[in-house]
Structure 1
Amino acid sequence: MLAFVSARRLPFRPSPLRAGLAFVLGALATCAHAAPTFSFGGFGTLTAVHSTERQADYTASPISPGTAGYGKQWAFDVDTRAGAQVRAQFDRRWSAVVQVVEERGVDHSYAPHLEWANVKFQVTPDLALRAGRIALPLFLTADYRKAGYALPWLRAPVELYSIMPISNSDGLDASYRWDGFGARHETQLMAGRASVDLAPGISGRTDRVLGITHTASAGALTVRGTAARANLKIGGAEEYFDAFRSFGPTGVALADRYDIANRNVVVLSAGFSYDPGGWFVMGEIGRVNTRSVLGDQTAGYLSGGYRIGTLTPYATYAKVDVNMPTSTEGLPVAGLPPQLGGLATLLNTDLNNRLRSIGVQDTASIGLRWDFARNFAWKMQLDRVQPKGGSMGTLTNVQPGFRSGHAFGVVSAGIDFVF
């Protein structure tokens, strides 16, 4: 998603855990007449990853980049994370939840951040309202994408989940459950904003996040669709695009087309899961259009597996493609004085390099899950990854010797657990 920078959530300071606990205590104070009950849980993932691509690093998410490949022969930072959650039930209507997750950020360090912190009011048995930091319901696994144990795979398909890596927003949502057409339905409306911390020295935010998600379930089949939009504001590239504008109408048009300072982003997704118990098949497709140099991409996957006792072998095919030209003629150079011509050529080259960096990639995977103990699962996954069309795909830390179109292998093994 991000060509200039990789984004991650702003960590709560001074302490996300203290802030989260204060949030629960504040909710408790509003319901002082009730005798609350508390529940505590957690989850974790520890994996080792090896990539045969030695000219770049394999990563599962741009907001949590790993170092498998160019950085290290075997890396433990691609998927490794830990999380803890506290839930408070004040009465039959009021409840609150706080979730803190510690994972690798773009500054290459591990730090805790507040993933969820919200209060829920059950208006009726079918209507619920929430306020606070809430999971963005963009994909099938939105409510548990950080908890690897709940996933059938070692990791969610990176082609889809990396194009919208932000997983929560601060705001409100309303969920209504209803029956009809032979299925159980849930319609969710959301509104909020999300702060983002960018590559060193650059910050940004998404305002006016608005969306609707509808989920329908009938027996073993679940279908979900989401439409959302947000206003994305990223600072730090003003001088770059002002340089284009200085070349007159053509430069202004290029800057207006590709600038990242203030853009309306649209996210569309649809998915299904069929899981009768002994086997499963699921798939999703999504589109994220930033209307900027950050890209307009469509991604999806299809996956299936079969359960044999405690073993679940599975296979997945995932793909991400671009819906916009990845090159432009740029600024006209003919007739310009040498100094301006050199600057125009430099700007054109840089812009085309950024457009070509928008991810185009497909991955074929096979894996095995072994539930060897209660609440513990060992997983192994083999991926054949191929960036295409001159793109670096979802790789990071790309070196001059990298060749797009060259397939490489990824071997991952690790343990997921919950408590």
Structure 2
Amino acid sequence: MLRTSIVACTLAAGSAAQAADELAWKFSGFGTLGAVHASTRSADYTSTILRATGAGASERWSPDVDSRLGAQLDVSQDRWSAVLQVVSEQGMTGSYRPRVEWANVKYQVTPDVAVRLGRIALPVFLAADHRKVGYTLPWVRTPVEVYGALPLSSSDGIDATWRWSAGAMRHATQAFYGRTDTELFDSNRLRARGVAGFSHSIEQGFLSGRASILSGRLTTEVGSEVFAALRAFGPQGAAIAGRYDIRDKRVAMASAGISYDPGQWFVSAEIGRTHTRTLLGQTTSMYLGGGYRFHELTPYLGYAKVRANSAISDPGLPLAGLPPRLQATAAIVNAGLNSYLATIPVQTTASAGLRWDAVDNVALKAQYDRVRPTGGSRGTLINRQADFRSDQTVHVASVALDFVF
């Protein structure tokens, strides 16, 4: 009898070991079918500056603001796992060419420590890991004033995460290092190297939060034609160009967010600050939102704001003393510089919406946003037209069908 038990235990252990060695596969996906209307014809409303078009100047009703389709493959074996996520959404070239959002391998060093290598989600903001999965959000999109401060959502590099507990509170401390290289428009690219930082997350009961800091060195050719023209005016122009050009310039960002969700209702808030001595300027952004669940229906409200901590205009080249022909040229160069500086966002948005969880894994949402760029800024709007005027309210209506599978 004892021998039989030993044999049975040995066989069971062998089967468990064999099962542990087997590959586990999981395929999943997500998507959003959206349509957005904006009341203006002087600019486009969009969810991120990394779009070619939006609602307003380009189209009265635009499907490009929120629509996307994503697929994800997860593979795991013992302490190893890997993930590949591909997302198709409009980029700055106007194409929906699929992009690899995540592609990394993870090794679970201990039950509490893991290391990943590859393309990894940047752990900034509460929705860092699911900002593109509309179904996981109570609202149609993440607040553009806050999440627009970091339009890039992933980097190529390495990270390490340590999960630990202190009493009833669970912690996750993450350090990361990497780089990014993103296509913009007209052969322009956005490159960031030495992207390094820390993120710390907490969970206790219905409460969750995250605080993050990161920095990196940014390079892009955006604005290069203006900077070249400025330098042609000698030392004064070169000094102005050096103040704003984006060539190997340090950019830093800090953010913190908190969410409380006991089930029947929820509330969340985030704040972020960016700092860079370039054309991108320095900003502080925040949002506060919440809602109440009535069975399948969830009405919600939100308020978001972004303000500039640096100038969004510059006197530019002094015109006095220049020959008339050069005065006209210098005035054009100054106007070009200020056109770029006006892209530093100063804006508020008040939102109201309704989510309907019609069936499992499908949610229909309708949302109204009252968007107001101020102070001469175009806010987060893109494709500004000649007749655009700041300090005018833009009314935005959105519908979105979110799903996961």
Establish whether TM, by shorter chain, passes 0.5.
yes
Instruction: Verify: 1:202 aligned to 2:202, yes or no.
Output: no
- 1:13-412 residue pairs with structure 2 within 5 A? 34-91=21-78, 93-180=79-166, 182-235=168-221, 237-412=223-398
**Aligned 8 A contact 1:237 1:261 in 2:** no
TM-score by length of 1: 0.89
Q: Is the 8 A contact 1:299 1:318 kept in 2?
A: yes
Matched residues in 2 for 1:379 and 1:239: separation? 42
Q: Deviations over 1:105-150 (max 9, x none)?
A: 1111211010000000011111000000000011100000010001
Deviation at 1:326, TM superposition (A): 1.6
SS in 2 for 1:257: helix
Question: Is 1:417 paired with 2:403?
Answer: yes
**Per-residue deviation, residues 248-302 of structure 1 (Å, max 9, x unmatched):** 3322221111111221110110000001111100010111223201221111100
CA deviations on 1:67-94 (whole Å, 9 max, x unpaired) are 3112222111110000000000111x10
Which runs of no fewer than 5 residues in structure 1 stay unpaired?
A: 1-32
Q: SS at 2:226's partner residue?
A: helix
- Partner amino acid for 1:341? Q
More displaced, 174-183 or 207-216?
A: 174-183
For residues 355-400 of structure 1, the C-alpha deviation after alignment (integer angstroms, 9 at most, x for no partner) is: 2232111110001111110101111101111111111111112112
| Paired residue type of 1:56 | A
Would the alpha carbon gap of residues 286 and 302 (structure 1) be closer, same or farther in structure 2, given more than 3 Å must change? Answer: same
The answer (yes or no) to whether the contact 2:281–2:311 under 8 Å persists in 1 is no
The amino acid across from 1:83 in the alignment is G
Larger radius of gyration: 2
Matched residue type, 2:38: S
Indicate the residue corresponding to 1:30 in structure 2.
none
**Is the 2:33–2:67 contact (alpha carbons within 8 Å) kept by the matching residues of 1?**
yes
SS in 2 for 1:111: coil
Distance 1:224 1:404, change over 3 A: same
What is the distance in 1 between the residues matched to 2:36 and 2:42?
A: 16
SS at match of 1:114: strand
Q: For residue 160 of structure 1, report the CA deviation from its aligned partner.
A: 0.9
Q: State the distance in 2 between where 1:299 and 1:108 align.
A: 28
How much has 1:35 moved relative to structure 2?
2.1
C-alpha distance after superposition, 1:172-220 (max 9, x if no partner): 0000011126411110000000111121121231100001000111111
SS of residue in 2 equivalent to 1:357: coil
SS in 2 for 1:110: coil
1:235/1:406 CA distance change after superposition, 3 Å:
closer
Whether the 8 Å contact between 2:52 and 2:93 is mirrored in structure 1 is no
Work out whether residues 374 and 391 of structure 2, in 8 Å CA contact, stay in contact via their aligned partners in 1: yes
Instruction: Compare 243-252 and 114-123 and name the one that shifted more.
Output: 243-252
Q: 1:297 to 1:236 in 2, by over 3 A?
A: closer
Partner of 1:29: none
**3-state SS of 1:143 partner:** coil
Distance 1:223-1:395 versus aligned 2 partners, 3 A rule: same
The number of residue pairs the alignment matches comes to: 386
TM-fit CA distance, 1:240: 3.0
Rounded Cα–Cα distance in structure 2 between residues aligned with 1:114 and 1:185? 29
